[in-house]
Amino acid sequence: MADITRRLGWRHLRGAPTAHVRHHRGEKLLHEGPGLSFWFRALTAAISEVPVDDRELAMTFHARTADFQDVAVQATVTYRVGDPAVAAARLDFSIDPDTGVWRGTPLEQLGTLLTETAQQHALDALTRTPLAQALVDGVAVVRERIAAGLAAEPRLPATGIEVVAVRVMALRPEPEVERALRTPAREQIQQEADRATYERRAVAVERERAIAENELASQIELARREERLVEQRGANARREAEEHAAADSVRAAAEAARTVKLAEAEAARSVQLAEAEAAKSVKLADAEAARTLRLAEAEAARSVKLGEAEAARAVTLARAEAVGAREVGEARAAAQAAWLRVHGEADVATLHALTGARLAENLPRIDSVTVSPDVLTGLLARLGGERE
């Protein structure tokens, strides 16, 4: 809108760079062009202002497809006034000289013309297209058809209008039809989701089965290894028992050999001691006999005076005692040698028994023995069994 000021009966107009101003006085054109600034008289001036910038015209209209379905088309047409002189001659772009406001509604007329023309070509394209195809390819088809129709429309160049661009933003059916059309896609998406869920569950079940099989295989392997371990432990235990038995056998043999050697040494020592004791006894007997003989002879010498009878008797007694002592010593030596010979020929068990008997002989005296009923009953039962 032009900016008009008053000064002493004159008017001053200052236009915008995007507005083409035409100033007539009578039939004479005084000023013409965009962005003008001039003085004029209101009573004699006829001024028109035509916008020459690009303008957007949004439109929404309904159309019917080939299968009688209603669709809503949302489009935008970009246009501008290419020939302001023609436009000012065909449409009323005159302004009030006092306010600078258009006296008519030229832009609304242009919008109506463009909307009706675009709607006509869009309806012509959609009435030959089914709804499904229109929803798929309808935006491009309607845009091309509107652009071609506006370019071929003779009224627009005659009015000085140039179409810059055509855009179709949406092509939508009625809400019920749109929901119905969305249902198969939703069902398919739901089926895909269910299929994915089932496949995921199947994969999970398969993985769980694989895990269970692995666990079972692990348990079987562990049981097999435990069985091998038990067998190995049994073999080790048997080997250890055999080694212990062999060691015990060797130890028992060594102990028996040692015991035999000790017994043999003890027997040899006893024999030696017995022989030494016997020799000593013989020597003592001989010494005693010699001493007794000497004493007897001395006594006899001293007692010669007592009489030959007493001397003879003394000599006889001395000789008898010497013979008896010699015989006793020889008997003791023989008995000791026989005892040693018997112990040397006896086995280890007999030696142990004799050793126990010898120990029993050297034990202290037992004053009293307490026999319990259980022991007495067992002894009586054993005695009764032996009698039977």
pLDDT score recorded for residue 78: 92
Q: Is residue 387's pLDDT more than 60?
A: no
Mean pLDDT of 56-60: 90
Tell me the backbone φ, ψ of residue 62, rounded to 5 degrees.
-105, 145
Predicted local confidence at residue 362, as pLDDT: 67
Task: Give residue 333's Cα distance to chain centre.
Answer: 95
Q: Identify the band that residue 361 occupies on the pLDDT scale cut at 50, 70 and 90.
A: low
The tokens for 358 are 């010898």
Q: Quick check: 388 pLDDT over 80? A: no
* pLDDT over 90 percentage in the chain: 4
List strands edge to edge, sheet with 37-40: 3-7, 10-14, 37-40
pLDDT in tens, 215-258: 888 989 898 888 888 888 888 888 888 888 888 888 888 888 88
| C-alpha distance from residue 27 to each of 3, 30, 159, 232 (Å) | 24, 9, 21, 130
Residue 300 contacts residue 351 (beta carbons within 8 Å): no
Position 371 scores a pLDDT of: 62
Q: What is the number of alpha carbons within 13 Å of residue 325 lying toward its C-beta?
A: 19
Evaluate if residue 359 carries a pLDDT over 70: no
Give per-residue pLDDT as tens, 177-190. 877 777 776 778 88
**What global pTM score does this model have?**
0.45
* Residue 385 predicted with pLDDT over 70: no
Overall average pLDDT of the 344-364 stretch: 68
Q: pLDDT tens, 315-326?
A: 788 788 878 888
Largest CA distance in the chain: 228
pLDDT number for residue 301? 73
More confident residue, 302 or 307: 302
pLDDT in tens, 141-200: 888 988 998 888 888 888 888 999 999 988 888 878 877 777 776 778 888 888 888 888
Q: What is the pLDDT of residue 311?
A: 64
What local confidence, expressed as pLDDT, does residue 76 receive? 92
Predicted local confidence at residue 271, as pLDDT: 79
For residue 302, the model assigns a pLDDT of 77
pLDDT of 300 over the 80 cut? no
**Over the stretch 99-126, which tens digit does the pLDDT of each residue have?**
878 888 888 988 898 998 898 888 888 8
pLDDT averaged over every residue in the chain: 82
Pick the range with the lowest mean pLDDT from 35-49, 61-75, 297-311.
Answer: 297-311
Reading the block at residue 116, the tokens are 């009706």
How many CB atoms lie under 10 A from the CB of residue 316? 11
